[in-house]
Structures are given as C-alpha cells and as structure tokens.
Amino acid sequence: MSDIKFSVCIEMIFNDLPILDRIDAVAQAGMPAIEFWSWRNKDMPAIADRAAQSKLQIAGFLADCGADLCDPEIHKDWVKGAADSIDQAVAAGAPSLIATTGNEMDSIPREQQHEAIVESLKAIAPYAEEKNITLCLEPLNILVDHAGYYLVTSKEGFAVVDEVNSPNVKLLYDIYHQQISEGNVIATIRENIQRIGHFHVADVPGRREPGTGEINYENVFAAIAESDYAGFVGLEFRPSTTSVEALAQVLKIAGQA
C-alpha cells in the first residue's frame, strides 16, 4: 500500500490568506501539491513561481473554456477554450485539468447533450495527448450544491470516458458529490480505478474535512492506496476548524501522520 498524494484546493482551504500566501501555508502543512478553480482570474506565472519556491506541484485547475461542454451549438468555442487551458497547464507544470459540463439544457434532448460532451472531448483529446495533459470530467451532485447541472452519475461519466477512448480523458471522482448522488463509493472506485484521473474529497453532510460526517475515509483512503492509482487526491472542503488542523486530520486518517 502506497501513500496517497494529496492536493490542497486553495479556493476553499487557507482562503483567509492572499492567494500566494496560501501556497506557502500548504507547504508548511506538509502537503505536496495545490489545485484551484479558474486560471483566467489569476496571475498564473506568479502562482507557478511561488509553487516552485515552495517545492509544491500544481496538480490541476479548471479547463475554463468560456462555453458549456454539453451545448452542441458552441462546440468549437469549448474546444478552443480547452486548448487554451491545456497550454496554461503545460506552462504551470500541471498534469491535469478539470472539465465540467455546464447545466442541462431543457431545449435539447439529453442524448444530444451527451453526444456533444463526447464529441468535444474527442476533438480535444489528440491535443491533450500531445501535451501530456489529462482532462478529468467531473460529475456533481444536484441535490445540495449544483441544481441543474448536467452530469450527475459516475455511470454516465464513465460511459463518456469509454466513448472518447483516450488515455488522456478520464473521470474526476468527487467522493463528496458521489456519496450524495449515488453512494457505493468504495466499490465504484475499485471497479473503475483505471478510468479515474483525479479525486476530490469532502465529508457529508456539510462539505467539511474527512472525519466530520458519514463517510468512512479511513476505508476510502485505504481502497485508493491499495490500488495502482498514481494521481492526486484533491482536498476540496470547507474546514470546520482551522485549515492547519483540518489538513492534519486528513493526514492522520490516511495514516501519514
């Protein structure tokens, strides 16, 4: 069993600090990597420089494309935005990008929206392969946090991954969202680990740190560590105490403290 590589989402953790100082705080907490949401509203060279100074890797960020992946009418806009995001990932030394679908469109059948997602990911996959960047498609829950979002189930997400059929297009398995949407977390992880490119972590309810809710993260982390998964596990939660204490609890639960 190998140690999990954690990545800290600096949008939600240490967010009382200026953004560059958050990077230093992550390093001081003993974590190896950071991640964040949009790159378009950030000074990316400054973030990359500070991460390098702190000896942290940038694990990934959003493929902020300025268009919804599930909208067939703006397919070319999404692909162009994805290419720009891939270039940003290469410059930052990040191995992956997070791809979200946007909200379901009432005026278009779901089958067509599914096809739009597949076709757009197929269109960008060769460039992702060329640049060695993995696009991670993320299902979200619609019961608590993201009402109206298109992609909810891991089953449909894995189906998209299979249809695109690229080693650089995988699923972002968010344990918090999938516990709310469908449960069966550990079995799903074990059965699909080859199709998972990134994880997100938070407990249910409340989206707090592991150990505050109903998910047995000791067992979940063990299932990931026992697999051959070599990517990052992103910590995307709202600390119920201080960020330092919450991250220390994660390391303790994972058997790394």
Which residues are tagged catalytic?
Answer: 138, 236
Strands 196-201 and 33-35: unpaired
Quick check: helix, strand or coil at residue 61?
strand
Helices (H), the chain: 19-28, 44-53, 75-92, 110-131, 154-164, 175-181, 185-192, 217-226, 243-253
Burial of 23 (0-12, 13-18, 19+ CB in 10 A): buried
- How far apart CA 20 and CA 119 sit, in angstroms, is 37
Q: What are phi and psi of 170, to 5 degrees?
A: -135, -175
Closest CA to 127 of 178, 87, 181, 74: 87
The burial class, CB within 10 Å (0-12 / 13-18 / 19+), for 90 is middle
